[in-house]
Structure 1
Amino acid sequence: MPCNLLIRGENFDVDLFVEQTGIPPYEITRKGEQTGASRLQKKTMHLSTLHYIVSEANFDDHKTQIANALTFFRTHGEQLAKYATSANIDYTYLDFGMDDHIGYNIICKTFEFPAELLQYLAAIKCDLLVGIYRSNE
């Protein structure tokens, strides 16, 4: 899932946040819950987390990821901003997964994020994270 919004907090009431915003998350984890498929993989969650899928565009389709993120925030930005600053949230970040596709003749690769998207992120005190994944090509 190349672009995700994660909202986390030690004392974050994820259920109340979803109820107030009306934005259904992809996944909810609650502080104190056990995760992992086997006894050896189990761990106790120390934070409550809401996970929203913002874009399912491919890792190499940066323009669509960004367009989808703008659509998500144009749709939900006002509701997120209304509750995000008062809900015991410790961390919020928008995570873009992008491929490197850097060949031998390319020295640098840049990713441009429009000011409108950055304004939405600033309104909810959201960090921007870009994970660059090595391409198999």
Structure 2
Amino acid sequence: MSCTLRAGGLNFDVDSFLATSSLTPCAIFRRGEPKFPVSNPKGRICETSSFNVGVSDAEFGDEKSQTHDALLFLEKHENELKRLAEFPGNEGTQLDFAIYVEPPVFAQSYCLPPNLLLQMGRLGIELCISCYAAPEEESHPTPA
């Protein structure tokens, strides 16, 4: 996922919210359970209960498609996102855009349109931009 909605909190009853929600989570985390139960069952324990919903499958470097998908998602799920914002125990909702950073970089900027920011603000959704190192292109030897 290149753009993900996250919500949760210390006393958030994630199962109760999702039982009546139209949102389809791609990940659910419950306080006190392992964060990665399959790959690292004895590893980090979740300190809060939360869930993630995929908002966009666009490429990490495709901010325009991520923005377009996010606007459609916010419009489609507006009523449910309002309910989420007011749900007991939800301490915050984030919309996280995954972006590649191209090294070497002195500065890199990302602009999001006012209509997206306005809609996020109206719904009480925090903006998060996660920057990841761009994958190195594999070099393939030329056949002799």
Q: How does the TM-score come out when normalised to structure 2?
A: 0.80
- For 1:4, give the aligned amino acid: T
Counterpart-to-counterpart distance in 2, 1:109 and 1:56: 22
Counterpart-to-counterpart distance in 2, 1:114 and 1:14: 31
- For 1:61, give the aligned amino acid: D
Q: Which has the larger radius of gyration?
A: 2
1:70 lines up with 2:71 in the alignment: yes
Note closer, same or farther for the CA distance 1:118–1:10 as it changes in structure 2 (3 Å cut). same
1:98–1:130: 8 Å Cα contact kept in structure 2? yes
* Greater strand proportion: 2
Q: For 2:131, what is the secondary structure of its paired residue?
A: strand
Counterpart mapping for 1:58-137 below 5 A: 58-101=59-102, 108-135=107-134, 136=136
Extract unaligned runs of 5+ from structure 1.
none
Counterpart-to-counterpart distance in 2, 1:122 and 1:30: 27
Describe the superposition over 1:85-106 as per-residue Cα deviations: whole angstroms up to 9, x where unpaired: 23311132111111123677xx
How far is the alpha carbon of 1:12 from its aligned partner? Answer: 0.6
2:31–2:49: 8 Å Cα contact kept in structure 1? yes
Aligned-residue CA RMSD (Å): 2.2
1:55–1:65: 8 Å Cα contact kept in structure 2? yes
**Aligned match of 1:31:** 31
- For 2:109, give the aligned amino acid: T
- For 1:23, give the aligned amino acid: L
Counterpart-to-counterpart distance in 2, 1:86 and 1:79: 10
Extract unaligned runs of 5+ from structure 2.
138-144
